[in-house]
Amino acid sequence: MDVTPLGSVIGARVEGIDFDAPLDDATLAGLSKALLEHQVLVMRAPDLAPGQHLTIADQFGDTEVHAFFPNLGEGFERVSVLDSEQGNVASMWHSDETFLPEPPLGTLLSARIIPAVGGDTCWASTTASYEALSPNMKRYLDGAMALHDLSRTSELAYNTGNGTAESYANALLSTRRFEHPVVRTHPETGAKALFVNPVYTRALKGVAPDESRAVLEHLYAHATGARFQYRHRWQVGDLVMWDNRCTMHCVMRDFVGRRVMHRVSILGDTPR
């Protein structure tokens, strides 16, 4: 297995893996080590079937049925389908499902249909962005908590004319919300990372609304700076795995045509 860095702080290409069979112990250990070091791993698996996709993900931990994305159906409920023709293009910066008490550890995303131009995905390292904060900001964030709320997605849709008042109201009545530390400690590396995002984070706890908005907007702009990013141009058959505990990502909505991805996410732990 060969690992080649693709960016200075995030991203690596991994070659020499046979996905036709379950990963052996050495390969699994090598991938796990590379994921901790590079946070985003780019691989080629052009013949990957949904069952193989699940088998690989299951070797890293238990996998989830996604909170709202459609899936492949009976027997493959854990394989989510992100189809641009159904409006499933995650084009705002986010970490996955942070409204859950235990957000996903990571995700494996398989490219099935890719437009001729555009539709890249960008990832940003939130460990690198945390490390680059000023000492004063680090002290301010120490011990801070934030509320993460699934209804934020309905709010954003409503505010941009893509959602209804009824769907927004129903979302506000749901219980899909949870508080997490603004700075979480990675359970395996011990590194600190920012853990807020524009899609699901509603507010900082215990501060005035205008202060919360100002601080969060600063953190979003800082954390998604170009120096912390890796941008991936997809090919059909690409398989990308990322660590959701220390990254954000977004899709470039700059394409014409259809974009279809299969996604499997691994259950995580409570951020601390």
> CA-to-CA distance for 175 and 150, rounded, in angstroms?
8
Question: Which residues is 230 bridged to in the sheet?
Answer: 123
pLDDT value, residue 237:
98
Q: Is 94 a catalytic residue?
A: yes
Active-site option among 177, 186, 245, 249: 249
Rounded mean pLDDT of the chain?
94
Active-site option among 53, 96, 232, 245: 96
Q: Is 222 a catalytic residue?
A: no
Q: Is 238 a catalytic residue?
A: no
> CA-to-CA distance for 66 and 48, rounded, in angstroms?
20
> Does 118 score more than 70 pLDDT?
yes
Q: Is 263 a catalytic residue?
A: yes
Q: What would the pLDDT profile of 36-92 be if each residue is shown by its tens digit?
A: 999 999 999 999 999 999 999 999 999 999 988 999 999 999 999 999 998 888 889
> Does 169 score more than 70 pLDDT?
no
pTM: 0.93
CATH class of 126-223: alpha beta
- What burial class does residue 235 get, using C-beta atoms within 10 Å of its C-beta: 0-12 exposed, 13-18 middle, 19+ buried? exposed
pLDDT value, residue 241:
98
Closest-CA residue to 110 (of 54, 66, 61, 70): 54
Fold of 2-124+229-266: Double-stranded beta-helix (3.60.130)
Task: Give the mean pLDDT of 122-148.
Answer: 98
Give start-end residues of each CATH 3.60.130.10 domain in the chain. Answer: 2-124+229-266, 126-223
pLDDT value, residue 88:
83
Active-site option among 38, 78, 94, 259: 94
